[in-house]
């Protein structure tokens, strides 16, 4: 590595000052301003005080004593208050560029995670209605995180947790049953906290009109590996109606669950989300995992009983108060189910787990991680990333969303109106812990102004250029050092300098859990390519050497854009519709 070479060289000089490897961290970074070279270190500034020297003087001495291979480092300069700036020799930059292109090159070397198994859980929305737009941000982030982790060598596993047990699902069944009975002409009250969404009325009407046909259709749509857990209840809706209320509600619940999970899964597919596992809460109950987790906590003396309830000592983990695991009436809380779920996740052999949660759950992190620690799991095993709220604006006004009240923008509507690619890209241009305003009008009406199109266009433009070259019988060939030595224009080198950052960008996005860096970087690449493209007009009419180098540079640029768009989950089109 280039950085290692520089570090070694610098350390060699520093020994003369009695400074050794363990004394100082040598930072090397790419200066913002290109005239400051390709890499820069603040070493002399950091050491100035410690050695009682003026930084600039010290920098001069260090630079003078450095011996670096000329074919790698072209020049070393002192600038500003004492920065040491390195200019990378062009032939070495070409070597780095080829390393990005080469399948066995830089993108292989960053796969350092040793194939360790890592679980990434995201969305995990309640199965009580169609996915709404809030899940779109989680989906975009989670899926890209999975791909990023794979890119740095993890064996990453995408997971969706389905809360198919408990109060919410019961309410769902009650709501559907009430709608059904109402449509059948019975005078029944709608449950107080029931789900008012239009989709339940539609579902009830379908059931009333088609009954067994509707059930068969729903079940057929479900005939799938990932969803074998959900079975259609026996009989027809007409039969369910006549059952005792509790039993009846259960049937309607199951049916609604089946339908809604089908929608959710289909929406995920449309959005390009692929989950390796849909984990059902009901399985936890069936396999007695709540009891088992509770037993273990008991043995480890992390729980106690009071007021008839069972409490977890989360105050020992800096939580404000202890939390109930089993209510006085014997019913387990959601918290206990979650503990059991994550404990099982650990037992399934994942060395690390990342959960993406909404901001309304941040108060939950402390106790959840505390519970994991109490179970004897290593600190830090469960990592929680909070995705901040999205405010959707329409006509400049925020849209209020509530699933119970039934007023929300569905993810499907967003995909229909804005498009999956644009949506993903908008989410991935922002960092995860920022609140975000999503202007629907802007996204819908002015899509040509969206940055994702700039990147797509750059890709299509390169395809078009290479096609034209082929049509004219111009051979490009695989990028090679000899041809690329003929790069010359400033805009070309600026592009090269940016392209060779690809491996670092991927590593930093994966490590920091900030996939938005991919989008920001992609935008930069597109801008630099466009600049190069405009400034170096009529490439195909250039002398052969120049032309070849420019086309090969284009080829590498296209490759980099493809890698980025792949990670982001956005299509890289060969062609774009030309605007009038």
Within residues 415-474, the interface with RNA by CB under 7 A covers 429-431, 433-437, 439, 448-449, 451, 453-454, 457, 460-461, 464-465, 468
Using the minimum distance from each CB to RNA, give the nearer residue, 106 or 237: 106
**Whole-number minimum distance, CB 288 to RNA, in Å?**
18
Beta strands in 399-452 (DSSP E): 436-439
Q: Which two tokens stand for residue 420?
A: 């999956």
Q: Which is nearer to RNA, 238 or 305 (CB)?
A: 305
How far is the C-alpha of 444 from the C-alpha of 490, rounded, in Å? Answer: 38
How far is Cα 95 from Cα 484, in angstroms, rounded to an integer?
9
Q: Pairing between strand 73-79 and 83-88?
A: antiparallel
Closer residue to RNA in complex, CB, 359/376: 359
**In the complex with RNA, which residue's Cβ is closer, 46 or 205?**
46
Shortest Å distance, C-beta 365 to RNA? 8
Nearer to RNA, 49 or 299 (CB): 49
User: Of 72, 309, 413, 476, which lies in the binding site for RNA, with binding defined by CB under 7 A?
Assistant: 309
Task: Compare residues 210 and 530 and give the one whose CB is closer to RNA.
Answer: 530
Binding to RNA (CB under 7 A): which residues in 176-205? Answer: none
* H or E element that contains 392: strand 390-394
In angstroms, give the least distance from the CB of 212 to RNA. 30
Among the residue ranges 75-83, 144-152, 153-161, 564-572, the one whose residues contact RNA (CB under 7 A): 75-83
Q: How far is the CB of 392 from RNA (least distance, A)?
A: 11
Interatomic CA distance for residues 277 and 265, integer angstroms: 12
Please say which residue, 42 or 248, places its beta carbon nearer to RNA. Answer: 42
Closest distance to RNA from the beta carbon of 156 (Å): 19
Note the residue count of the chain.
Answer: 580
Nearer to RNA, 176 or 502 (CB): 502
**Distance between CA 131 and CA 119 in Å, rounded?**
22
Q: How far is the CB of 442 from RNA (least distance, A)?
A: 7
Residues of this chain, 210-249, that bind RNA according to CB under 7 A? none
Rg (CA), the chain: 29
> With CB under 7 A as the contact rule, which of the stretches 4-12, 15-23, 40-48, 343-351 interacts with RNA?
40-48
Alpha-carbon span 560 to 305, nearest angstrom: 59
- Asked if 501 and 30 touch (Cβ cutoff 8 Å), the reply is yes
- Per CB under 7 A, the list member of 49, 67, 104, 189 interacting with RNA is 49
User: What 3-state class would DSSP assign to 273?
Assistant: coil
| Residues in region 363-402 near RNA by CB under 7 A | 363-364, 386, 388-389
Site for RNA in 507-536 (CB under 7 A): 508, 511-512, 514, 516-517, 520, 523, 527, 530-531, 533-536
Tokens of 419: 């498009």
- Closer to RNA at the Cβ: 181 or 230? 230
Contact 313, 307 (CB under 8 A): no
Size, binding site for RNA by CB under 7 A: 96
Among 24, 51, 126, 413, binds RNA (CB under 7 A): 126
Considering only 9, 14, 42, 265, the residue that binds RNA (CB under 7 A) is 42
Span 311-330, contacts to RNA by CB under 7 A: 320-321, 323-324, 327-329
Instruction: Report in angstroms the alpha-carbon separations of 274 from 121, 144, 151, 535.
Output: 12, 11, 16, 42
- The single residue among 213, 220, 405, 540 that binds RNA, judged by CB under 7 A, is 540
Single out the residue of 224, 306, 416, 545 in contact with RNA (rule: CB under 7 A): 306
Residues 483-512, interacting with RNA (CB under 7 A): 501, 504, 508, 511-512
Return the SS3 of 96.
Answer: helix
- What is d(CA 49, CA 161) in angstroms, rounded to the nearest whole number? 54
Smallest Cα–Cα separation from 29: which of 501, 471, 350? 501
Pick one of 15, 21, 23, 29: the residue that binds RNA (CB under 7 A): 29
Q: Given the complex with RNA, which of 40 and 132 has the nearer CB atom? A: 40
Residue whose tokens read 């062609």: 575
Q: Is 37 in the site for RNA (CB under 7 A)?
A: yes
Distance CA 436, CA 441 (A): 15
Q: Which residues pair with 355 in a beta bridge?
A: 121, 384
Residue 357 region by backbone torsions, left for phi larger than 0, else alpha for psi between -120 and 50, else beta: beta
Residue 168 in the binding site for RNA (CB under 7 A):
yes
State the DSSP string of 525-573. HHHHHHHHHHHS--GGGS-HHHHHHHHHHHHHHHHHHHHHHHHHT----
Q: Distance between CA atoms of 187 and 493, rounded to whole angstroms?
A: 76
Q: Between residues 147 and 459, which has the closer beta carbon with respect to RNA?
A: 459
Residues 338-357, interacting with RNA (CB under 7 A): none
Shortest distance, position 304 Cβ to RNA, whole Å: 12
């Amino acid at each position: 590595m280039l950085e290692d070479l520089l570090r070694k060289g610098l350390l060699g000089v520093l020994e003369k000052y009695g400074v050794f490897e363990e004394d100082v961290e040598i930072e090397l970074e790419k200066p913002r301003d290109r005239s400051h070279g390709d890499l820069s270190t603040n070493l002399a500034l950091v050491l100035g005080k410690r050695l009682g020297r003026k930084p600039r003087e010290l920098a001069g001495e260090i630079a003078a004593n450095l011996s670096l291979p000329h074919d790698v480092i072209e020049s070393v300069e002192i600038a500003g208050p004492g920065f040491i700036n390195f200019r990378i020799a062009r032939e070495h930059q070409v070597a780095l560029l080829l390393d990005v292109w080469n399948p066995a090159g830089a993108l292989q070397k960053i796969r350092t995670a040793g194939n360790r198994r890592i679980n990434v859980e995201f969305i995990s929305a309640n199965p009580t209605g169609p996915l709404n737009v809030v899940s779109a941000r989680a989906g975009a982030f989670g899926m890209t995180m999975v791909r990023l982790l794979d890119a740095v060598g993890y064996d990453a596993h995408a997971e969706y947790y389905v809360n198919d047990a408990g109060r919410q699902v019961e309410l769902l069944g009650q709501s559907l049953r009430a709608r059904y009975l109402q449509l059948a002409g019975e005078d029944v009250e709608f449950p107080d906290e029931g789900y008012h969404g239009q989709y339940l009325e539609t579902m009830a009407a379908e059931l009333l009109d088609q009954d067994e046909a509707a059930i068969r259709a729903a079940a057929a749509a479900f005939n799938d590996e990932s969803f074998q857990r959900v079975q259609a209840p026996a009989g027809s809706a007409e039969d369910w109606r006549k059952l005792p209320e509790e039993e009846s509600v259960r049937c309607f619940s199951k049916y609604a669950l089946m339908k809604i999970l089908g929608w959710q899964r289909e929406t995920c597919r449309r959005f390009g989300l692929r989950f390796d596992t849909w984990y059902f809460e009901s399985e936890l109950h069936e396999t007695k995992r709540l009891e088992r987790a509770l037993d273990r906590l008991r043995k480890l003396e992390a729980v106690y009983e009071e007021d008839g309830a069972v409490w977890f000592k989360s105050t020992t983990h800096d939580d404000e108060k202890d939390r109930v695991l089993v209510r006085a009436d014997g019913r387990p809380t959601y918290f206990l189910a979650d503990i059991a779920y994550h404990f099982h996740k650990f037992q399934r052999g994942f060395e690390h787990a990342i959960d993406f949660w909404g901001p309304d759950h941040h108060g939950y992190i402390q106790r959840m991680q505390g519970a994991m620690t109490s179970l004897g799991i290593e600190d830090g095993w469960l990592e929680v990333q909070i995705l901040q709220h999205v405010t959707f604006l329409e006509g400049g006004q925020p849209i209020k969303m509530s699933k119970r009240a039934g007023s929300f923008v569905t993810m499907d509507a967003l995909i229909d109106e804005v498009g999956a690619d644009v949506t993903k890209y908008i989410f991935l241009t922002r960092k995860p812990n920022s609140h975000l305003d999503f202007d629907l009008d802007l996204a819908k009406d002015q899509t040509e102004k969206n940055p994702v199109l700039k990147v797509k266009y750059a890709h299509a433009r390169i395809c078009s250029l290479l096609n034209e070259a082929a049509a004219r019988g111009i051979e490009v060939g695989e990028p090679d050092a000899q041809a690329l030595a003929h790069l010359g224009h400033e805009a070309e080198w600026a592009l090269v300098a940016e392209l060779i950052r690809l491996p670092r960008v991927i590593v930093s996005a994966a490590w920091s859990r900030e996939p938005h860096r991919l989008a920001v970087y992609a935008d930069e690449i597109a801008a630099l390519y466009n600049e190069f493209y405009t400034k170096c007009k009529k490439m195909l009419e250039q002398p052969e050497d120049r032309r070849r180098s420019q086309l090969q540079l284009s080829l590498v640029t296209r490759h980099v854009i493809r890698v980025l768009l792949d990670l982001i989950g956005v299509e890289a089109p060969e062609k774009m519709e030309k605007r009038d």
